[in-house]
Amino acid sequence: MRSIIHFFSKKLKKHHLVLAVLLISVSCKKNVDTSLSSEQKFDQTDNWIVLDKTDAIKKDNTYSWNFNVKHPVKYVVQMVSNKSLYNSKNHVKVTIVGQEFKRPLLKSYAINSNEIVSEFKKIVSFSKIGEQTISIKTAANFKRIRIIPHFENPIGSGGYHQEWLKMNQSDEKQKALEQFKKAKLGMFIHWGIYSQAGGVWKNTRINYAPYKGPKVAEWLMHAFQIPREEYSELAKTFNPDTSFAQNIAKLAKQSGMKYVVITSKHHDGFALFDSKSSEYDIVDATPYKADAVKELYEACLREGLDFGVYYSHGNDWMDGTDGNYNNVKKVNDSLGIYTHPTGKNLWGPSTNTHKEYLQNKAYPQVKELLNLLPELRLIWFDGTGFITEKQAFQFYKSVYDINPNVLVNRRVGYSFGDYLDAGDNKIPSSSDTLEKYWETCGTINNSWGYKSYDNDWKSPKELLYYFVDILSKGGNYLLNIGPDGKGKVPEISAQNLREIGKWIHQNRDAIYGTSPWKITKEGQGETLLDGTGHRAAKGFKKTFTSKDFWFTTKENKVYVISLTNTEGEILIKSLRKGEATIEDVKLLGNNKTLNWQQNKNELKVTITGLPKDVLGYALEVTLKNK
């Protein structure tokens, strides 16, 4: 049986799918992984907070409850009643986590013959575990309140946690994490058959595409709802210059990057490596006929760079059916919760089931990558979609079982993963509880994949600003490039990277291997980078003064980073007398000792010897007795 299945899943042709699927579903029954049975009794409503009106403390028209938060994430608040409150004139005022919010009730769902669920638009975030209070003032005749984990942060049964923890805490993973933390800067590469289209389909720019969703070039197929057969035609002309691997690896090295992560398969389902479980790959479906991932891997190893691959596991618009949308929606509708359609192929899904896609394509491809790339350091999962807790765990575990040195990012799902990847183009605030290991991925213009008309390049200064901010908070910056269909990196983005590379090289002691100091920054307020669309819409208008500093530390040194190039006297309050006992202050780059003086208000330093036109500088402050 196994060999027949292997045969069918090896090169799964579309017309073989039905037969293969039948065979596999028979075999799956026999091969159920019994070690994963702990979630069997789990039901997502176990993680809901349900408060009955009859249990409330009532005062006039105000109802209050105390409840316990076990999972500090984002939630939505719903009222259940016998009739819709959505369009009613009832005034509803809710007070929760110290915030007050009024209507509007955004949507409502009929969940059974006599119950209607009305949901508030506002999302509530709990930042810690423990007791909370909610009070609702309304004359409406409701039955109960439900506080439900937001769909972006599904919570599982926790049944795999111990097993996951054991793997995550293993020596191999911890060693890999320490190395990861030292690296600080990585290169993200979005490259695939969409790169040829450059964000344009049949003369229409993706920004004007008819369907909802992100306006980034790699979402071409989704934005125009391109039929699978038609989209896959792009493969027939994908024929990059063979020099791409060498050029990109060199660029990464020159830019001060220590690791590289390339899209081995994005949501469009096309594999940029020689896949044995799908013919929709660079070797079988393009004139290039060689394994681009492997070529880049080898070029990166030659440059001494660590190598990782991005893999879209939950979303696959070619072979992943509808991403399980309809099944999930059926359940969610019956429960009265929302199902987000974005990122799901609802325009021309494949005919197999999502489970079969995982079994026949996604799990096998992940294994193939691990075997193809023995020195792989990271798998960067994305497009979690509607995969279950058990499936997310299986991705994590199958990586570990083959190569325990390979890190997995949190987006694998359900908080499995070895480190936190913040949202796309999002920098967490220093007031957040920062994880020990984390990373922000960011674009260099406003798209990940190559967009022929997006010239809104972030300047070297802006890039450096994000980098320094992330650095001061102990994170990594995974900065993206989008090579075109030929594999060429747009010149301005390459130049900008080289320029930050020059700066990084000069100031490397303040960067690699450092940790956050007790204070992350001094001077101006928080960095705001809140998603890919955020910067695109707002532009970048920040200026920096000689009072703005970011700090890092290593051994008995504190590094002070400035994004100005003015010489003269500067005052650093965080290093005043009493805060730090200082032995020496040097300018990185030329390592010259500067004149300095400490008093009870500040450390005064006279900056001299800055090279011309620098983006900024870093001081190395050596502390005594540390």
List of residues contacting ligand H79 (CB under 6 A): 152, 190, 214, 216, 218-219, 340, 342-343, 382-383, 424, 441, 448
Q: What's the min distance (Å) between Cβ of 216 and ligand H79? A: 5
Between 67 and 338, CB nearer to ligand H79: 338
Torsion sign across C-alpha atoms 341, 345, 348, 349:
negative
**Chain-centre distance for alpha carbon 179:** 20
Q: What's the min distance (Å) between Cβ of 211 and ligand H79? A: 13
Residue 587 tokens, joined: 């300018």
Torsion sign across C-alpha atoms 240, 242, 243, 247:
positive
Q: What's the min distance (Å) between Cβ of 321 and ligand H79? A: 16
Between 209 and 615, CB nearer to ligand H79: 209
The CA distance from 246 to 406, in Å, is: 24
Residue 18 tokens, joined: 């039905």
Residue 550 tokens, joined: 């970011």
Collapsed DSSP state (helix, strand, coil) of residue 193: helix
Between 127 and 342, CB nearer to ligand H79: 342
Between 27 and 326, CB nearer to ligand H79: 326
Query: How far is CA 203 from each of CA 200, 487, 500, rounded to the nearest angstrom?
Result: 6, 22, 35
Residue 132 tokens, joined: 């909370």
The residue of the chain with the least Cβ separation from ligand H79 equals 342
Q: What's the min distance (Å) between Cβ of 25 and ligand H79? A: 28
Between 189 and 619, CB nearer to ligand H79: 189
Q: What's the min distance (Å) between Cβ of 455 and ligand H79? A: 20
Between 231 and 551, CB nearer to ligand H79: 231
Between 218 and 368, CB nearer to ligand H79: 218
Q: What's the min distance (Å) between Cβ of 342 and ligand H79? A: 4
Q: What's the min distance (Å) between Cβ of 383 and ligand H79? A: 6
Q: What's the min distance (Å) between Cβ of 448 and ligand H79? A: 4
Q: Which residues of 128-139 are buried (b: 16+ CB within 10 A; e: fewer)?
A: eeeebebbbbbe
Provide the CB-side half-sphere exposure for 317 (13 A, CA): 28
Q: What's the min distance (Å) between Cβ of 297 and ligand H79? A: 19
For 303, residues 6+ apart whose C-beta sits below 8 A from its C-beta are: 249, 250, 252, 253
Q: What's the min distance (Å) between Cβ of 153 and ligand H79? A: 9
Between 114 and 125, CB nearer to ligand H79: 125
Residues in the chain: 626
Q: Where are the alpha helices (DSSP H) in 1-75?
A: 2-10, 17-30
Helix (H) or strand (E) holding 252: helix 244-254
Query: How far is CA 379 from each of CA 111, 154, 295, 359, 616, rounded to the nearest angstrom?
Result: 40, 21, 17, 18, 34
Query: How far is CA 586 from each of CA 203, 520, 623, rounded to the nearest angstrom?
Result: 56, 20, 12
Q: What's the min distance (Å) between Cβ of 242 and ligand H79? A: 25
Q: Residue 217 carries which DSSP code?
A: G
- Burial environment of residue 321 by CB neighbours within 10 A (0 to 12, 13 to 18, 19 or more): buried
Between 159 and 383, CB nearer to ligand H79: 383
Between 261 and 619, CB nearer to ligand H79: 261
Query: Comparing C-alpha atoms, which of 352, 366, 357, 418 is closest to residue 385?
Result: 357
Between 22 and 331, CB nearer to ligand H79: 331
8 Å CB contact between 217 and 268 = no
